[in-house]
Structure 1
Amino acid sequence: MSYNLRREETVDADQLRGMLEESPAKAAQAILAAAGQGVVQAQLLLGQILLDGRGIERDLVLARQWFAIAAQGGSAMAHNMLGRCLEHGWGGEQDLAQAVAHYRTAAQAGLDWGLYNYANMLGTGRGVAQDQAGAFAAYRRAAQDGHAKSMNLLGRYLELGIACDADFTRARRWYRRSAQAGDFRGQFSHAAVLAEQGEVGEALGWLRRALEAGNANFLRSSIPELERARDARVRGMAERYRERLGAM
Structure 2
Amino acid sequence: MPPLPLDALREARAEDLAAAFAGPPEEAARWIDAAARYGIVEAQLLYGQILLDGRGVPQDPAAARGWFRVAAEAGNAAARNMLGRCHEMGWGGVADEAAALACYQAAAKAGHDWAQYNLAGMLWRGAGMAADRRAALAWYRRAADQGHAKSLNILGRFLEEGWEAPPDPVAAAALYRRAAEGGDFRGQFNLATLLAAAGQTEAALEWFRRAATGSPARFRNGMAERLSGRPEPEYRALAREIAAGR
1:96 matched to 2:97? The reply is yes
What's the CA shift for 1:59? 0.7
CA 1:100 to 1:223, structure 2 compared with 1: closer, same or farther past 3 Å? farther
Matched residue, 1:20: 21
Tell me what 2:193 maps to. Answer: 192
Please list, as runs of the form range in 1=range in 2, the aligned pairs for 1:1-248 lying within 5 A after superposition.
Answer: 1-6=2-7, 9-244=10-245
What displacement does 1:138 show?
1.1
**Identity rate of aligned residues, in percent?**
46
Conserved in 2, the CA contact under 8 Å of 1:104 and 1:114?
Answer: yes
Q: For 2:74 and 2:52, how far apart are their aligned partners in 1?
A: 19
Q: Which deviates more from structure 2 when the two are superposed, residues 184-193 or residues 53-62? A: 53-62
Q: CA deviation at 1:105?
A: 1.2
Query: How many angstroms does 1:238 deviate by?
Result: 2.7
2:185–2:215 Cα contact (<8 Å) kept: yes
* Aligned AA (1:187): Q
Distance (whole Å) between structure 1 residues aligned to residue 8 and residue 62 of structure 2: 24
- The unaligned stretches of length 5 or more in structure 1 are none
> Deviation string for 1:4-23 (max 9, x for gaps)?
33598122111111133234
- What TM-score do you get using the length of structure 2 for normalisation? 0.92
TM-score when scaled to structure 1?
0.92
For residues 50 and 7 of structure 2, what CA distance do their matches in structure 1 show? 19
Alpha-carbon distance in structure 2 between the residues aligned to 1:68 and 1:230: 53
Structure 1 distance, partners of 2:26, 2:166, is 52
Q: CA RMSD in A?
A: 1.9
Matched positions, count: 245
Measured in 1, the distance between the counterparts of 2:172 and 2:208 equals 18
Residues 6 and 29 of structure 1: is their aligned pair in 2 closer, same or farther, counting only changes over 3 Å?
Answer: farther
Deviation by residue 1:31-66 (Cα, 9 ceiling, x = unmatched): 212212221111111101001111222111100111
The unaligned stretches of length 5 or more in structure 2 are: none
